[in-house]
Amino acid sequence: MQMKQSFGRSFLNEFKLRKFGFKHKHLDQFYQSQWQSGARSFYYLLFRWTWAFFFISVFIASLVLQLSGGKFFIFLTNWGIIVCLLAQLSGAILATRWYYNLGNARSAVMEGKILKEPPTTPRLIKFYWLVHGASLALALVITTVYWIFLHGKMDKPMLYPVMSFITHCLNSVFMLVDFWLVAFPVRLLHIIYWMLLPIFFYIFTVIYYLAGGTDEYGHHYVYPILDWTNPMRAVTTFAGVFILYIIYGIALFLLSKFKRYLSRTVSAMDSPHAIGLI
């Protein structure tokens, strides 16, 4: 009962105006893993750079294979890879700054905790928080929409099936693993910022269609479910994506709370003060 009441208060607290922002008292959560025990973790640093190099490699390979005179940049899947890359690279830089205390990043946070005066949230942390949530939500939406509505229905040959699997499936797998390891929270009101990417993309597809743009095979649409010769279908797709964003946003928020609860439970069991636990 106490846990339910605590969660209820936490949920309602998410709708306060300040939750639109990107300020956070516990800045160490952006540098550390949810599951590490010490102040520093070489394994988490290694993880951060491994994930960063994965998305860097995927971006370069996709660009080389699918550039097609610039057509690479018209697909939302590739926008998603770029945002994932920005998130992972930001996270790797932050983890490196923390591990080696570059620019006194770790010292400033630790001193602030002792004095109970947390330092100002750096711009890189705000950027990381924004793009991490946006990239995770977009990856999940891309995977869902592709495998349900687009796979095998694109009216064009699949030239690179392995790369397609990576960008439409492993993107979400890697981002979910990352989500499970990071320590910073999900804010429900940040979903509004996450939705800006599909809004910009849909505006782009309308402009691209009106300008006579085509995909690499000459189709007058970017995706068949966004064929603006059938506006009702395109608008329905637009609405469906927004519903998915809300569903995934709430699910990620709940998982974030559960992850934090589980982490605290594990830490309590590992504590030398935990007695009577077998």
Spans of all domains in the chain: 2-266
pTM for this predicted structure: 0.92
Instruction: Say if residue 1's pLDDT is above 60.
Output: no
Average the pLDDT over each of 86-95, 102-111, 171-180, 243-252 and give the range with the smallest value.
Answer: 102-111
Q: Kindly compute the dihedral angle of the four CA atoms of residues 259, 148, 77, 129, in this order, to the nearest 10 degrees.
A: -20
H-only helix segments in the chain: 2-13, 42-66, 76-99, 105-115, 123-145, 161-165, 171-181, 191-194, 196-210, 231-270
| Band of residue 197 on the pLDDT scale cut at 50, 70, 90 | very high
Residue 88 and residue 50: Cα distance in Å, rounded? 9
Q: How far apart are CA 138 and CA 16, in angstroms?
A: 25
**pLDDT tens readout for residues 90-134:** 999 999 999 999 999 999 998 888 777 777 899 999 999 999 999
Residue 273 has pLDDT above 80, yes or no: no
- 19-51 residue pLDDT tens: 899 999 899 999 999 999 899 999 999 999 999
